[in-house]
Amino acid sequence: MTQTIVIFGASGDLTSRKLIPALYSLHKKKRLAPDTRIVGFARTQFSHEAWRQRLAESTAGFVGDQFDDAAWNSLASRILYFPGNVDRAEDFRTLDEFLKADEESGAARLYYLAMAPQFYETAVSHLGAAGLAVETLGPRRIVIEKPFGTDLPSAQRLNRQIHDAFAENQVYRIDHYLGKETVQNVLVLRFGNTIFEPVWNRNYVDHVEITAAESLTVGHRAGYYDTAGVLRDMLQGHLMQLLSLAAMETPVRFEAEAVRDEKVKVLRAVRPLRPENIATDTIRGQYRGYRAEPGVREDSQAATFAAVKLHIDNWRWQGVPFYLRSGKAMSCGTTQIVVQFRQPPYMLFEDGPRDGRDANRLLIQIQPAEGIQLLFQTKVPDAGMQLRMTDLSFRFRDKFAAPMPEAYERLLLDAINGDASLFTRADEVESAWSIVDPIQAAWDNGVNPPLRIYEPGLWGPVESMEWMEQQGRSWFDACPVLH
């Protein structure tokens, strides 16, 4: 089916860094319909040719030696530019005429909002008012980038605005973590195998740790980050997605509604933190030097590190804490899910470990050392009954020749094909906000827990390690081995 992808915010960073390179790569792999058109919409005045030229340079820069002139040229002839202002309703009407001029009946359109979030509501209402969401001539889908709101009320308002123009099944809310192969592999690990399911519950699991650590600082994004902070930036979206995939029940089918029903169910089962628990069950930190970053307020209280302990009130997970942790300026970049199993009920071997930290552990490495390790005790040869932790290790790069695609490739292709399984539904995004909002509100009130300053290049504030120690646990702090 003929497709037109209209990118609003076409002159921005996301378009040149992620969207166009992903579309180029899909085109090169012959996964786009041959007559797919890409139309950029932004205020800057460009001719079609000038925009193509700009994108050719940026795409070549991002894809490096994967860039192929012939492949690019065959895509570039179908890249068009439409100068328009999101604030002006009439620009949407002329856009519609522009698009219709070359469209066959039945052609599908994908509208991609790649602009600053404060323009989402205006863009959506103008799309609606100009009749661009009506599906009589073919499917009309809309992709909306994160952040989706800044709290529950703003997310609800945005959902209402969207639903005034688009039905929920036309809406694709992006969380790029869901486009990562290793994140999708959590579903395969759990539901494509039999051996994990019997132990994937409170009877065998002591706790689950979900960490997204970044060695990067906020860099040039302080303007956004200083008002967002780590809870909104990482926890509400990416970490909640990992939590829901790790903790959900088996969907009845692998299709969008069934998968998302289960994700929403588990998010709804997360016990909201009460004000009195926020001091004891969360740690907030800020890396030393953050306030000196360009664009950051001198007295900024924004957290660049969070550790949060959550409980899931259902039969599978009752009593099993889920620790979520994310931070900037940490020791290294690693995103991982650690399932820490319980100790054997009785340690038979005199020299065997008696600390829960030496019990079995399943380490799901989301990035950058994509893979899975299962840690278990083994007899040390020729040393009586001494035991040592060893591992079974799987690495994607050892088993599969194909490099990991960019998350945006899969997500764009799914949105083009109308598969919303890897996109966030309205109720899902709202459930995630209802978990984060009470924490953010308490943190904004600024008393408890205090903002801990941590040294860059470590694993966050020392209080975060102490907090785990007090609970008889410790974070799995290891930088992934990349070779």
268-327 residues near ligand BG6, rule: CB under 6 A:
none
- Report residue 203 as tokens: 């009877």
Q: Decide: 54 and 46 in contact? Cβ < 8 Å.
A: yes
Helix or strand holding residue 387 (H, E)? strand 387-395
Q: How far is the CB of 228 from ligand BG6 (least distance, A)?
A: 8
Phi/psi for 303 (5° steps) reads -90, 135
Q: Decide: 244 and 251 in contact? Cβ < 8 Å.
A: no
Task: State the DSSP code for 334.
Answer: E
Q: How far is the CB of 214 from ligand BG6 (least distance, A)?
A: 5
29: number of Cβ within 10 Å: 12
- Residue with the closest Cβ to ligand BG6? 233
**Residue-by-residue DSSP string for 160-205:** HHHHHHS-GGGEEE--GGGGSHHHHHHHHHHHS-SSSGGGSSTTTE
143-172 residues near ligand BG6, rule: CB under 6 A:
146
Distance of CA 110 to the CA centre of its chain: 21
Distance of CA 234 to the CA centre of its chain: 8
Taking the least distance from each CB to ligand BG6, the nearer of 1 and 14 is 14
Rounded Cα gap, residues 244 and 220, in angstroms: 31
Residue 309: closest CA among 285, 338, 278, 337: 278
Taking the least distance from each CB to ligand BG6, the nearer of 5 and 239 is 239
Q: How far is the CB of 18 from ligand BG6 (least distance, A)?
A: 10
Interface map 322-361 toward ligand BG6 (x if CB under 6 A): -------------x--------------------------
Q: Decide: 361 and 339 in contact? Cβ < 8 Å.
A: yes
Q: Decide: 225 and 231 in contact? Cβ < 8 Å.
A: no
Q: How far is the CB of 344 from ligand BG6 (least distance, A)?
A: 35
- Out of 145, 233, 409, 428, name the contact with ligand BG6 by CB under 6 A: 233
383-412 residues near ligand BG6, rule: CB under 6 A:
none
Task: Determine the residue type at 134.
Answer: V
Q: Scan for tokens 């109720």, then name that residue.
A: 427
Taking the least distance from each CB to ligand BG6, the nearer of 233 and 437 is 233
238 is catalytic: yes
Query: Residues 126, 238, 311, 483: which is the catalytic one?
Result: 238
Taking the least distance from each CB to ligand BG6, the nearer of 232 and 473 is 232
Does 428 participate in binding ligand BG6 (rule CB under 6 A)?
no
Rg (CA), the chain: 24
Q: How far is the CB of 19 from ligand BG6 (least distance, A)?
A: 15
Q: How far apart are the first and last CA of the chain?
A: 43
- Report residue 324 as tokens: 């979520």
Q: How far is the CB of 28 from ligand BG6 (least distance, A)?
A: 22
Count the residues of the shown chain that bind ligand BG6, applying the rule CB under 6 A. Answer: 4
Q: How far is the CB of 51 from ligand BG6 (least distance, A)?
A: 26
Taking the least distance from each CB to ligand BG6, the nearer of 239 and 339 is 239
Taking the least distance from each CB to ligand BG6, the nearer of 84 and 149 is 149
Q: Residue 12 burial by CB count (10 A; 0-12/13-18/19+): exposed, middle or buried? A: middle
- Out of 206, 214, 226, 370, name the contact with ligand BG6 by CB under 6 A: 214
Taking the least distance from each CB to ligand BG6, the nearer of 99 and 239 is 239
Residues noted as catalytic: 238
- Residue ranges binding ligand BG6 (CB under 6 A): 146, 214, 233, 335
